[in-house]
Structure 1
Amino acid sequence: MRLMGDTDEDLWRKCVVGDADAFGVLFDRHADAVFRYCLSRCGSWHDAEELVSITFLEAWRQRNRLRPERNTVLPWLLGVATNANRNRARGSRRHADFLARLPHSDPRHSHPEADHAEEVDSRLDAERAVRELLDTTAGLNEGERDVVVLCLMNGVGQEEAATTLGVRIGTVKSRLHRARAKLAAMNRALEPVEQLDTTIVEARLS
């Protein structure tokens, strides 16, 4: 397929002039990583899918302003997802109920196969596993939790995490150091994200 061999930077230059196919390749390339990150932030399959949609919509809207760093748009996409998740968390219950009533927000409409018991079980297992991981971060402040979710739960490098969060790499390192110390003091260990990836991706794509 054309464009598949292009770098993110090449694809983004084409997006800037309105090439929807190039944007589609970027979506296919990064949507799973963005989804896993969103799920690890909110613990809800439905909300994670909503956040992915918001993230890529915002990416398309801002295509004239973004310049990929280190030839990848993923850190920037994760930054958009981080802000979108914070806005979601701060929203009112009425707003959440409104979104849930939208036809495209109903998994039974957008994903008819979600009614299958096996897929439902896979999604519930993935949500349960993520929420157990999130429970381990309860004693951390917001900044520490950000770097734990990015670096320890999603395997993002410290430099990329700094780009995602809009902070210096030294800030990421110090937050990670404090977070590890707090987690050790609480005698809690984070599972490697790889143990969740297969379940999450397979369930999402089935």
Structure 2
Amino acid sequence: MDYSLHARIRAGDPEAFRELFRDHAPLVHRHAVRVTGDRALAEDIVSLTYLEAWRLRDRLLDHEAGPRPWLMGIAVNVLRNTTRAARRHQAALGRLPARDTVPDFADELVGRMADADQLAAAHRALKKLRRTEREVFTLCVWSGLGYAEAAAALGVPVGTVRSRLSRARARLRKLAEQELKKNREPLPRPGQVQGGRTSAARSYESHEETYG
């Protein structure tokens, strides 16, 4: 493998960091949007991640398969350190329509849910996972990292990633169902059309079969 990019990053080569930003900033941003539910905060996460990457550039080792797991590991740590700020942003944006907050969340986790209440229920379910399970789920399912890449990003064995992801899927399915039941609409009155919660639940199950 050609490790010239690794060496250039460690040396602080501006062109190498431009290449790193061009190739991976969209991934970091998508990941941050889905974790925080806030596009503006996600942009801050991207900036902080690359500032940290510059500060920690000498820690990118030649034996690593590429800079993506290293960079995503930095992003995970930045997200951990900004959890409190993310909660403040989520509370403020929770008063806005869900599509303005996380327009593609439904595509990745529960299919195209029918309304904002269902979307909020799914997001609440995800937040009830343990942090370690949530991080593995978001890296592997949302951001498309392989087991080895996620393991490198989190600094854990591949087997740990597999077991955490399995637990996360099982727990998330149950939690999402519970959240949807708590927020189920009453039966419609004559002339009213009932929301699509049943179809949303089927969409969630279909999604889980795809990744399961």
| Range of TM-score over shorter length | 0.5 to 0.7
**Which residue of 18, 24, 40 maps to 2:12?**
18
Asked if structure 1 preserves the Cα contact closer than 8 Å seen for 2:10 and 2:60, the reply is: no
Output the CA distance in 2 between the equivalents of 1:63 and 1:17.
Answer: 8
Q: CA RMSD, aligned part only?
A: 3.1
Code of the aligned partner of 2:21: F
SS at match of 1:37: helix
Please state how far the C-alpha of 1:15 moved relative to its aligned partner.
2.6
* Structure 1 residues 124-166: Cα deviation after superposition (integer angstroms, max 9, x where no partner): 5462443835334133111111111111122211111111111
> What is the aligned partner in structure 2 of residue 52 from structure 1?
46
Say whether residues 1:154 and 2:143 are aligned partners: yes
Q: Deviations over 1:59-115 (max 9, x none)?
A: 11111222155431111111111111111113599xx89xxxxxxxxxxxxxxxxxx
Shift of 1:39: 1.1
Identity percentage of aligned residues = 38
Structure 2 residue aligned with 1:137: 126
Give the Cα–Cα distance (whole angstroms) in 1 for the partners of residues 77 and 51 of structure 2.
Answer: 13
Alpha carbons of structure 1 residues 92 and 15: separation in structure 2 relative to 1, 3 Å: closer
2:48 & 2:131 partners in 1: Cα distance? Answer: 22
Q: Which moved more, 1:65-74 or 1:45-54?
A: 65-74
Choose the corresponding residue for 2:166, options 177, 180, 196. 177
Looking at structure 1, the residues matched to 62 and 33 of structure 2 have their Cα atoms a distance apart, in angstroms, of 24
Return closer, same or farther for 1:69/1:51 CA change in 2, 3 Å cut-off: farther
Aligned residue pairs, count: 160
Letter paired with 1:149: T
Q: Looking at CA atoms only, which structure, 1 or 2, has the larger radius of gyration? A: 2
* Amino acid across the alignment from 1:130: F
CA distance in 1, matches of 2:132, 2:82: 17
CA distance in 1, matches of 2:24, 2:133: 24
| Greater than 4 Å deviation, 4+ residue runs | 123-126
TM-score under structure 1 length normalisation: 0.66
Q: 1:28 to 1:68 in 2, by over 3 A?
A: farther
Q: Could you tell me the TM-score, scaled by structure 2's length?
A: 0.65
Q: Any conservation in 2 of the 1:144–1:176 contact (CA below 8 Å)?
A: yes
Relative to structure 1, the CA distance from residue 92 to residue 14 in structure 2 (aligned partners, 3 Å threshold; closer, same or farther) is: closer
Structure 2 stretches lacking a partner, 5+ long: 90-96, 107-118, 178-200, 208-212
Choose the corresponding residue for 1:65, options 39, 50, 59.
59
**Structure 1 residue runs without a partner (length 5+):** 1-5, 98-120, 193-206
